[in-house]
Structure 1
Amino acid sequence: MSLLSWNCRGLKNLSSQNLGFISSIASTNSIDCIFLSETKCQVSCLEPFFSKLGFQGCKGFDADGTKGGLFLCWSRSIVVSMISTSKNHVCCSIKDVTGFIYYVAFVYGSPVFADRSEIWDNLTIIMDNNKGKWLLMGDFNQVENNNQKLGGSLVLKGATQFLDWKLTNHLLDIPYHGVNYTWTNNRSNSAAIYERLDKAFCNSDWKDNYPDADVWNLPIQLSDHSPLVLHLHKQSEGKRKRPYRLDAWSLHHPEVCEIIKREWEESPEGSPALSKEKFRIRLETFEVGASGLSRITK
C-alpha cells in the first residue's frame, strides 16, 4: 500500500499538467490514497477526474476563492472513515487490505507562523480523542532544524514549539529517500532558499505494524513542493540505517553533556524506538536554539 501527498499549488484548470503528473505518479507507485493541498478549487470539481482513475471515494475542504483547498481520495482496496476536516487538515481512519486499522492526519500547515500553534493544538486534541495508531503526513510548513534549510535567514520561527509538539504526541520521523529539500522559493543564486517542509510522522504503535515504511521525496516539478510517496511495505535492501549523528561542535557545550547524562540515567518509558527519538529531538532542540551554529559547521 502507498500514499501520495503533494502541495500542488492549484488544480482549478482541469486540463492542468498537474493532473496528468498526479495520474502518472499514482499509476507508477500503485497509490491507494492521494492527498492534495492548495488545490485552489472545490472538492466537487476534482471528484470526476479521480473517479475515472479508479478512486472511489473523496473528501476534503473547499478553497476560499483562490486560497487553500484540500482534497483526499482513495481506492477501492481500502476503507476510509472520516473524523474531521478543516482548512488545515483531513483526519480519517484507514482499514487496509489486511484488515489493519489506523488513523491518519493529512496536514497543511499554515504559511503564517502565528497560526501554526493552533493547528498543532487541534491535531493534539484529535489524537487524544482517538487513541491508537497514528500516521501524519503532508506539508507542515515548518522547518525543525538548520539541516532542513539551505539559504535565507538562520532564524527558524516555530521550530522549538514544533519539536515540543512532536515530543508531547510521541511522534517518530518516518525515514525518507530522494531530495533533501521539498520546497523552493524558485529564485536563483544567493536569493535561493530550499527547505524540507513536507514530511511524515507516526507514533510507535503505528511503527510496530509498519517497521519498514519509508517516504520518497520526489523531485520538485510543476509546483514549488515535492510530491511525497509513502510506501508502507518497503522491500529489504540489506542496508543498515544510518544513526542520528550529533554535530561535533555540540560536544563542547555543557548543555549537551547534561542531556546525555540525564537520558542515560533515566529509566526508559515506552518502546526503545520512542526513547531514542525523544533523545534525538532533545538534542535537535538544543541545536536549534544554539544561534544557528549547527548550520555553520555543515
Structure 2
Amino acid sequence: MNCLSVNLRGARGDRKADWIRGLKTSYGIHFLAIQETKLQDSSSFMFSKFWGRAEFRIAVVNSTGRSGGLACIWCPTIFRCVNTIQNRNFIVVSGRLVQSGCMINLVNVYAPNDANGRRALWSEILGIRNSIQGLWIMMGDFNEVRDSSERMNSEFFEANAEAFNQFILSAGLVEYNMGGGSFTYISDNGTKLSKLDRYLVCLGFRERWPNAAVIALEREVSDHRPIVLSTVQTDFGHIPFRFFNSWFELPGFYDFVIQKCSTFNFSGPADLALAIKLRWLKDNIKAWLTVDKVNMDGLYCSKKSRLAEIERVAEDRM
C-alpha cells in the first residue's frame, strides 16, 4: 500500500490538483492524506480532481474559518474502510487491506501551532492508539521536530521535542529513514527549514514491511514537500523515462544533474535506493526541462519580435 501525505495550504486551484494527481499516478498511490485544505464546506468540493477517474472513498474535516481542514482519499479495491474517527486535528481511517485482510489504521494529522495544543493532541491520539487493534500508520504535518538537527535558522524548544518523542515512544511508533532531503517545510522567505512532515508506524508494520521506503518529493505549489510511503519493494513508480544525449548540450544541464545527485540521501537496500534515486532524479530533470523550455520560448519570442522590428525599420528606411 502506497501513501502520499502533503500540506497543501489550500486545496483550491487547478495547478495543485494537477500536481497531486500526477504524483498519485506516478507513485501508484492508494491512500492520499491532505492537510490544510482550508475548505469550510468540503462536501461541495470536487476531490476527484486530485484522484482522477478511478473509484475512490473519502473522509473529510472542514476547516475552521480559513484555518486547517483535512481530507483522506483512498482506493476501495486496495483498502476497505470499516470505521472513521474525525477530529479538527486528525482523521483516523480504520479498515482492512483487501488482498491480505490485514487490519490497519491510517491517521492523517495536522497538529496545532501552539505547544499546549500539540501536547493535548498527542494524549488524545495515544488514547485512540491504545484502544483500537491493528497496524498503525500516522502521517501528516506534526508541526514539531524531534531534535535540533531537524530545524535550520529557527528556534528549537527541547521541551516540546521531548514531549513529541515521549508520545512516539509511548505509542510504540518508529520512523523509516527519509530519502530525498532532510527537511519538509521551508518558510515563505526561504530562510527557515524544518522537518515537520513525517510517517510514524507501529513496530508490527515495520516488521511486516521492513524494506518500505519514505521519500520527500520536490515542492511545487506549497511550502511543504509531499512525502511518499511505499511498501512496494520491486517497482517504485513508472519505468525510467526516455533520455536524450542532446540535453547535455543545454547550458547548465550537466551541472544541474551532478548537483542533484550529490544531494540525494537514502538509507536502505541498494536496489531500492537506486530505484528511488532514478525516480527522484527523473522528476527533478522534468521540472528543470520545463523551466528551460519556458525560458527558451521566451527568448525565442523576444528575438523574433526584435527581428520583426528590425525588418519594419528597414522597410521604413527604404
CA contact (8 A) 1:55 1:76 kept: yes
Secondary structure of 2:74's partner?
A: strand
Residue 153 of structure 1: how far off its partner (Å): 2.1
Residue 177 of structure 1: how far off its partner (Å): 0.7
CA contact (8 A) 1:113 1:157 kept: no
TM-score when scaled to structure 1?
0.74
Identical positions, percent: 22
- After superposition, residues 78-117 of structure 1 pair within 5 angstroms as 78-96=79-97, 97-117=99-119
Which position in structure 1 is the counterpart of 2:143? 141
Closer/same/farther in 2, CA of residues 205 and 56 from structure 1, 3 Å limit: same
Secondary structure of 1:104's partner?
A: strand
Q: 2:157 aligns with which of 147, 155, 158?
A: 155
Q: Work out the CA distance in 2 between the residues paired with 1:75 and 1:59.
A: 12
Secondary structure of 1:68's partner?
A: coil
Which position in structure 1 is the counterpart of 2:199? 200
Closer/same/farther in 2, CA of residues 36 and 200 from structure 1, 3 Å limit: same
Amino acid at match of 1:87: R
Which position in structure 1 is the counterpart of 2:226? 227
Amino acid at match of 2:70: L
Q: Work out the CA distance in 1 between the residues paired with 2:68 and 2:178.
A: 26
Q: Work out the CA distance in 2 between the residues paired with 1:177 and 1:238.
A: 12
TM-score when scaled to structure 2?
0.69
CA contact (8 A) 1:23 1:53 kept: no
**Matched residues, number:** 237
Residue 50 of structure 1: how far off its partner (Å): 4.6
Which position in structure 2 is the counterpart of 1:259? none
For residues 149-175 of structure 1, give each alpha carbon's deviation from its aligned partner in whole angstroms, at most 9, with x where no partner exists. 111224345101111111111111122
Closer/same/farther in 2, CA of residues 151 and 50 from structure 1, 3 Å limit: closer
* Consecutive unaligned residues in structure 2, runs of 5 or more: 236-267, 273-318
Amino acid at match of 1:72: C
Secondary structure of 1:94's partner?
A: strand
Closer/same/farther in 2, CA of residues 238 and 229 from structure 1, 3 Å limit: closer
Which position in structure 1 is the counterpart of 2:33? 35
Q: What's the C-alpha RMSD, in Å, of the aligned pairs?
A: 2.2
CA contact (8 A) 1:43 1:70 kept: no
Which position in structure 2 is the counterpart of 1:70? 70
Q: Does 1:6 align with 2:6?
A: yes
Name the larger-Rg structure.
Answer: 2
Which position in structure 1 is the counterpart of 2:209? 210
Q: 1:239 aligns with which of 270, 277, 284?
A: 270
CA contact (8 A) 2:151 2:194 kept: yes
Residue 92 of structure 1: how far off its partner (Å): 1.5
Amino acid at match of 2:102: F
For residues 260-288 of structure 1, give each alpha carbon's deviation from its aligned partner in whole angstroms, at most 9, with x where no partner exists. xxxxxxxxxxxxxxxxxxxxxxxxxxxxx
For residues 43-72 of structure 1, give each alpha carbon's deviation from its aligned partner in whole angstroms, at most 9, with x where no partner exists. 221334356432421111011221111011
Q: Work out the CA distance in 2 between the residues paired with 1:207 and 1:238.
A: 15
Amino acid at match of 1:234: Q
Q: Work out the CA distance in 1 between the residues paired with 2:37 and 2:46.
A: 9
Q: Relative to structure 2, which stretch is displaced further, 153-162 or 65-74? A: 153-162
For residues 121-146 of structure 1, give each alpha carbon's deviation from its aligned partner in whole angstroms, at most 9, with x where no partner exists. 11011111103321111111101101
Residue 109 of structure 1: how far off its partner (Å): 1.1
Amino acid at match of 2:84: I
Q: Work out the CA distance in 2 between the residues paired with 1:210 and 1:49.
A: 31
Q: Work out the CA distance in 1 between the residues paired with 2:152 and 2:234.
A: 31
Closer/same/farther in 2, CA of residues 154 and 239 from structure 1, 3 Å limit: same
For residues 180-222 of structure 1, give each alpha carbon's deviation from its aligned partner in whole angstroms, at most 9, with x where no partner exists. 100011214xxx1100010011111121211111211112221
Q: Work out the CA distance in 2 between the residues paired with 1:135 and 1:183.
A: 21
Secondary structure of 2:189's partner?
A: coil
